[in-house]
Each structure stands twice: as C-alpha cells, then as structure tokens.
C-alpha cells in the first residue's frame, strides 16, 4: 500500500467520524506490531496537512516479557514524536501468579487500563488504537459466536471514568494493505514473546473470516457495511 493511500483512508475515518479536533493531544498505543506502527505513520503524515492542528506522542506498555522497544524508539526519534515505555509486570501476574488458562482477555484489559491511565497523566485527551477493518469484522464474529450479541469496536469511544476518548483511525484500512505497507516501509516490528501469542480466539475468527471470504467473495466488505449501517449510526 502506498503512503498516500494510507493517508487517504485515515483522513476518511477521521473526517467521517469526527475523530480529531483542534488542540487534541493524542497518544498512539504502540504494541510494536505492524498495525500500531502503521497507525503511527498515518497520524504523523496526517498531522502535516490536517486543518485541525493536534499534538502526537507514542506510548508502549512493556508487559514484562523482555521486549526490546529500541527499534520503535529509533523510529519515533526519526519522526520527531515523543516516545515513552511504561513498565508493568502483566506477564508475571497472569502466567505466574494467577496461572490464567485463558489469559488474553485479562491481559488486554490490564494493558489498556495501564495505557489509558498513563496517557491521561501525560495530558492526553485521546488515545489512538490501531484496530483496522479486519479487526472490526472479526470482533463482530467473536461477539456473535461467544457472547450472543451484535457488538464490535466503535470509531470513537468515550471513557467516562477516565474522561478520555479512544479513537480508531484505521477503520477503513484492510490488514492486507497494512502488510503491504509493512514491507514497503520496512517497519521495525518488535516480536511479541508472549506464550499465548498466535493461539487465541481472535486467530480462530481471523481464519473463519478468511474462509468465508474465499467461499463467498465480498463477505468481509458486506459485513463491514452492515456494521457501518447498524452500529456506527446509533447514537
């Protein structure tokens, strides 16, 4: 995917769902994966010409698995974006202390909670997550199969307790395009050493969506359109 195309998709989401206002201080949650690094590039590029001026910082949460975030730090230095790593022993709590048999949900909750609290203290009023189009549809499948409800990510979620907006500017970007951008830009992806990585319900939903889309081409796009028409138009 060309950089200009990424910026076009990003601006479409930002404009359509009113994700950025003048004077916002936005933190980008950087896991070290391809999605969050693509989001960092997208918002960095958008900031150069978007009519609503905004401030940008990058934040990673070190889960205690010994991840080396120095490649991300170098990238942020090149892009002139302030970068912070938050240290928290989520891995020890989940795998050693609690010995969770299904750790991913608790880990995600603790990671997001730590990130949101940290960026709020840094003076941010918004935090950007790197959920893309495939994530949106996969989450809907997970919700239907395991929870019995029609639910997925919203473009803009307000956390009352934190007084913080969670925005998702990559909603119109497909994972395949992000993979293309990864290779084109040689993004410095940081490998996740988590023992549960790659063995999750989300991986199941990802493969299910691929299968459905192979057998019935256009399924993913139709499901995303249904989400837009139903969930994203609700008050």
CATH number of the domain at 166, please: 3.40.50.620
The tens place of each residue's pLDDT in the chain, 235 residues long, gives 899 999 999 999 999 999 999 999 999 999 999 999 999 999 999 999 999 999 999 999 887 777 889 999 999 999 999 999 998 776 666 666 665 556 666 667 777 888 999 999 999 999 999 999 999 999 999 999 999 999 999 999 999 999 999 999 999 999 999 999 999 999 999 887 666 555 578 889 999 999 999 999 999 999 999 999 988 986 5
Q: Residue 235 falls within a domain, yes or no? A: no
Give Cβ neighbours of residue 31 (< 8 Å, ≥ 6 apart): 60, 61, 130, 190, 192
Cβ neighbours, 10 Å, residue 58: 26
> Which structural domain range is residue 92 located in?
3-230
pLDDT of residue 106: 67
Six token digits for residue 68: 């080396």
Q: Residue 116 falls within a domain, yes or no? A: yes
pTM reported for the whole predicted model: 0.91
pLDDT of residue 23: 97
pLDDT of residue 48: 94
Give Cβ neighbours of residue 32 (< 8 Å, ≥ 6 apart): 60, 67, 69, 72, 189, 190, 191, 192
> Considering its fold, how many domains does the chain have in total?
1
Q: Residue 55 falls within a domain, yes or no? A: yes
Q: Residue 45 falls within a domain, yes or no? A: yes
pLDDT of residue 181: 96
pLDDT of residue 193: 66
């Amino acid at each position: 995917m060309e950089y200009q195309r990424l910026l076009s998709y990003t601006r479409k989401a930002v404009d359509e769902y009113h994700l950025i206002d003048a004077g916002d201080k936005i933190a980008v949650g950087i896991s070290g994966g391809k999605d969050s690094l693509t989001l960092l590039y997208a918002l960095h590029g958008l900031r150069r010409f978007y009519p609503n001026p905004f401030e940008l910082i990058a934040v990673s949460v070190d889960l205690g698995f010994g991840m080396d975030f120095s490649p991300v730090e170098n990238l942020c230095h090149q892009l002139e974006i302030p970068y912070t790593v938050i240290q928290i022993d989520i891995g020890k709590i989940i795998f050693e202390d609690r010995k969770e048999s299904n750790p991913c949900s608790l880990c995600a909750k603790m990671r997001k909670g730590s990130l949101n609290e940290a960026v709020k203290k840094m003076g941010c009023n918004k935090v950007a997550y790197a959920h893309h189009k495939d994530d949106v549809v996969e989450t809907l499948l997970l919700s239907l199969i395991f929870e019995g409800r029609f639910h997925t990510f919203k473009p803009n979620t307000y956390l009352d307790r934190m007084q913080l907006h969670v925005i998702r500017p990559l909603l119109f970007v497909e994972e395949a395009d992000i993979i293309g951008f990864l290779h084109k830009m040689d993004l410095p992806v940081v490998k996740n050493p988590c023992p549960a990585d790659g063995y999750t319900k989300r991986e199941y939903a990802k493969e299910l969506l691929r299968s459905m889309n192979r057998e019935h081409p256009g399924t993913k796009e139709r499901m995303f359109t249904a989400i837009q028409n139903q969930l994203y138009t609700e008050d």
